Amino acid sequence: MRLRNIPRADSVLNECKEVVKNGAEYRGRWREVFGNSNPVHIEIGMGKGQFLLTLAKQNPKINYIGIERYSSVLLRAVEKLQNDSEIPLSNIRFICMDARSVADVFAFGEINCIYLNFSDPWPKARHAPRRLTSREFLSRYHKLLASDGVIEFKTDNRLLFDFSVAEVNASSEFDLVGSTYDLHHDIEMNQGNIMTEYEEKFSALGNPIYKLIASPKDLH
């Protein structure tokens, strides 16, 4: 996907106190960044931020970190935060980085939940390792998650979802806790669901939304 460059994005992100400029400096110390011992949840590929900002408002005793590779996309999340004066949020941070570097930024067992929402499907077979639910990425996540942590993944792409279920089942590090091929009509799985911008768009078109939850096997 070709993204439009926004020249002011870098300057806005540099001036925003919620944007962490060098995440690796805080590896193992993220609770110090927030000034509390609350659980830390991250969203990888957060897009424009609707999902994470909603969670942060609803759950003030959970710390949230949004990871987005593209500054022009992260800019939209920052603007949402800055333009929403309803509730000042102290429990959210952003990082502009590639997801492949997550193990350099977060320490062993430091994260309680990883959200993956409507990730790039990388449809060509040779690009499968780049998918955020590939075994290569699952191995990275296993290093970050607490023993009782979880991964929550949502998509409207059936091929990506089938691939993701197969990758979790084939992994030596994760168990598939739950899955659904029609989230919005699954009473149990849809409880407390927060919709992303993409989710609202695709579900309005009648597309089913798929979701899985995976947890680390007891290897710690």
CB count within 10 Å of CB 208 equals: 15
- Determine if residue 61 is labeled as part of a ligand binding site: no
Rounded Cα–Cα distance for residues 37 and 56 (Å): 16
- Determine if residue 198 is labeled as part of a ligand binding site: yes
CA angle 96, 9, 48 (to 5 degrees): 60
Alpha helices in the chain (DSSP H): 9-15, 30-34, 50-58, 71-83, 102-105, 135-144, 158-170, 197-204
Tell me if residue 182 is catalytic: no
- Determine if residue 175 is labeled as part of a ligand binding site: no
Closest CA to 148 of 191, 113, 115, 173: 113
- Determine if residue 86 is labeled as part of a ligand binding site: no
- Determine if residue 18 is labeled as part of a ligand binding site: no
- Determine if residue 196 is labeled as part of a ligand binding site: yes
- Determine if residue 143 is labeled as part of a ligand binding site: no
- Determine if residue 68 is labeled as part of a ligand binding site: yes
CB count within 10 Å of CB 174 equals: 23
The residue from 120, 162, 182, 218 that is catalytic is 120
Q: Which residues are catalytic?
A: 120
Could you list the residues known to form a binding site, using ranges: 43, 68, 98, 120, 124, 156, 196-199
Could you list the residues known to form a binding site for substrate, using ranges: 124, 156, 196-199
Could you list the residues known to form a binding site for S-adenosyl-L-methionine, using ranges: 43, 68, 98, 120
